[in-house]
Amino acid sequence: MATGSSIEWTDTTWNPVAGCTMVSPGCTNCYAMRMAARLEAMGLDKYQGLTRRSGGRAVWTGKLALSDALLQQPLSWKSSRRVFVNSMSDLFQEGVPESYVRKVWDVMQATPQHQYQILTKRPERMTSVLSKGAMPVLPNVWLGTSVEDYWTASRIGVLKKTPAAVRFLSLEPLLGPVGRLHLGGIDWVIVGGESGPSARPIEASWVDSIHRQCVSQGVAFFFKQWGGTNKKKSGRIYKDKTWDEYPKPRPSLTIAAD
């Protein structure tokens, strides 16, 4: 089943892996965790046992579901699309064996008509796995890391060490100012506030600072949403317009120098 996505910066989600563990405050209100509990309640096999109830809400159990059948899904998509890999998980968590990441790579290599967007909160493991050379740098694979505040901005430096055709940051949920950004080697920045029932508020001054730095350093800027408990109402207008910039693939596939 092809999965059209409501996520503004992609066309489709592809979830060969489901399940995760929390790593930082940005995970506290994880949408995937809530959604996995809902899908389990609907009786979907893949999601059985991935979450449990704790303090009145769903939390990950640490169990992962790795599907070989779903691995094949993009092979059936003929027309080009942007594909967000593992919106319901994190491909580079410790529980996903390198042999399985290799299978994901094989599918992405076999389907150059698509652009794959892989986002992780574990850039250390991503770098470690990809630096071994068993998986090639693919021109249609974009690698990104999530940053939620100043304290998690160190992930950016780790991402820069990872060979990739396109590197991107998802500053969502933005929970605080991120400070000074060194965006050499970064091609794309997505910014968004947290949404959902317990959403923590974003401040316009944090967005202003990021936007200024993207403009001055020539990096594509995508403003996803203000978020909040009613994200439709708060919308995604920033400075009187929508910001839907996308990265241009770099001509040479290099590791950032800084």
List contacts with ligand SF4 (CB under 6 A): 20, 22-23, 27, 30, 32-33, 89-90, 121
Task: Specify the residue, 111 or 145, whose C-beta has the smaller distance to ligand SF4.
Answer: 145
Task: Specify the residue, 155 or 236, whose C-beta has the smaller distance to ligand SF4.
Answer: 155
Q: Please, what is the minimum distance in Å from the beta carbon of residue 237 to ligand SF4?
A: 26
Task: Specify the residue, 119 or 214, whose C-beta has the smaller distance to ligand SF4.
Answer: 119
Task: Specify the residue, 129 or 214, whose C-beta has the smaller distance to ligand SF4.
Answer: 129
Q: Please, what is the minimum distance in Å from the beta carbon of residue 203 to ligand SF4?
A: 21
CA dist 9 → 4, 28, 188, 243, 255 (Å): 12, 22, 11, 11, 25
Q: Please, what is the minimum distance in Å from the beta carbon of residue 77 to ligand SF4?
A: 23
The angle subtended at Cα 63 by Cα 57 and Cα 66, nearest 5°, is 125
Q: Please, what is the minimum distance in Å from the beta carbon of residue 11 to ligand SF4?
A: 20
Beta strands in the chain (DSSP E): 12-14, 17-18, 51-54, 57-60, 65-66, 82-85, 115-120, 141-146, 166-171, 188-192, 220-225
Q: What is the rounded CA–CA span in Å between residue 148 and residue 151?
A: 8
Coil vs helix vs strand at 156: helix
Which residue type is seen at 118? I
Q: Please, what is the minimum distance in Å from the beta carbon of residue 117 to ligand SF4?
A: 14
Q: Please, what is the minimum distance in Å from the beta carbon of residue 60 to ligand SF4?
A: 6
Q: Compute φ and ψ for 33, nearest 5 degrees.
A: -65, -45
Q: Are 131 and 106 in contact (CB under 8 A)?
A: no
Task: Specify the residue, 15 or 213, whose C-beta has the smaller distance to ligand SF4.
Answer: 15
Torsion of CA 115, 119, 165, 83, to 10 degrees: 0
Greatest CA separation for the chain: 50
Neighbours of 114 (CB within 10 A): 20
Task: Specify the residue, 28 or 234, whose C-beta has the smaller distance to ligand SF4.
Answer: 28
Task: Specify the residue, 40 or 90, whose C-beta has the smaller distance to ligand SF4.
Answer: 90
Tokens of 167: 């590197």
Q: Please, what is the minimum distance in Å from the beta carbon of residue 111 to ligand SF4?
A: 24
